[in-house]
Structure 1
């Protein structure tokens, strides 16, 4: 969330600790406070690092944005007494990462790595399954057979299920949508 497009070199990224699950609300509140207090020359950008993942919900694939660091946001700012106080007293903020007197800036290469990681092209599946969980195959040539998950590949959205065929455990690779929990 960009507040001011022109950012001087002296502005650094800082990690702000928030109440978990309130990152979006804190970012919106902080942006509003910065604009109303006239601190756009000190606080330039607020970032909530996220990554797109594919989640299976009721048999359908949906894309969600998952927070990389729940309970934390990144703020690009020049630390002054007013800017520090504005961020620190925003509802939902519990503090800066660093010492109690002075926040510690993030190195620029770490910020670039975080943003690059969040912008990876191929979203990953988010599995609702765990290894050794019992499942029923609901689609394909092994429909209605029961098995146990032996491996999960979230990148491909596949599971390997051990199915008992002719008295032997046989591994079968299936899509997340082809199995259901028992």
Structure 2
């Protein structure tokens, strides 16, 4: 279904109206015979999410694509997801501007390590995370944290 929608969008030159088609997946780790294997698994099997500007033409194209059988939402037209719903599904991440530098002292403000203090070892802009060394129970422990989980001291 995803490929069908993308092909029609390309053929009709509608890239400015139908922006993106996504089949939400997650990486699942399977361990068989002592070997670790990362496997992609569909979060909502049978569903695709379409990021589009709703016009009569874009709506017609999507609903008449081979493989599309229906839509989530009451009534005949789909309802858009809220920004919060999209973020909660992990489909889009908010880009967070930070003024962190390697060596800065930080305090964890949310999550399982809340209130722990540490030092930034690495900054990963593409993942919106840092690797910090936290002092836990008298030991230095490396932990990966998202930008919004920490604040600079």
State TM-score, norm by structure 1: 0.46
Partner of 2:27, secondary structure, is strand
Quickly say closer, same or farther: Cα 1:116–1:77, change in 2 above 3 A.
Answer: closer
The residue aligned with 2:56 is 81
**Gap regions ≥5 residues in structure 2:** 94-153
- By relative contact order (CA 8 Å, sep 6+), the higher-ranking structure is 1
Which structure has greater strand proportion? 1
1:41 Cα deviation from its structure 2 partner = 2.0
Aligned partners of 1:51 and 1:117 also within 8 Å: no
1:100 Cα deviation from its structure 2 partner = 3.8
1:110-125 residue pairs with structure 2 within 5 A?
A: 110-115=85-90
The correspondence for 1:49, drawn from 11, 16, 24, is: 24
State TM-score, norm by structure 2: 0.55
Is 1:94 matched with 2:69? yes
**Gap regions ≥5 residues in structure 1:** 1-25, 119-182
**Residue deviations 1:28-70 (CA, integer Å, cap 9, x gap):** 1111111101222210011111111111345432110111111
Quickly say closer, same or farther: Cα 1:85–1:117, change in 2 above 3 A.
Answer: closer
d(CA) in 2 for partners of 1:37 and 1:116? 26
Count of residue pairs brought into register by the alignment: 93
Quickly say closer, same or farther: Cα 1:117–1:53, change in 2 above 3 A.
Answer: farther
Quickly say closer, same or farther: Cα 1:58–1:91, change in 2 above 3 A.
Answer: farther
d(CA) in 1 for partners of 2:92 and 2:14? 30
1:111 Cα deviation from its structure 2 partner = 0.3
The correspondence for 2:83, drawn from 103, 108, 111, is: 108
Aligned partners of 1:51 and 1:67 also within 8 Å: yes
d(CA) in 2 for partners of 1:100 and 1:113? 25
Aligned partners of 2:86 and 2:92 also within 8 Å: no
Flag the structure with larger Rg. Answer: 1
Partner of 1:93, secondary structure, is coil
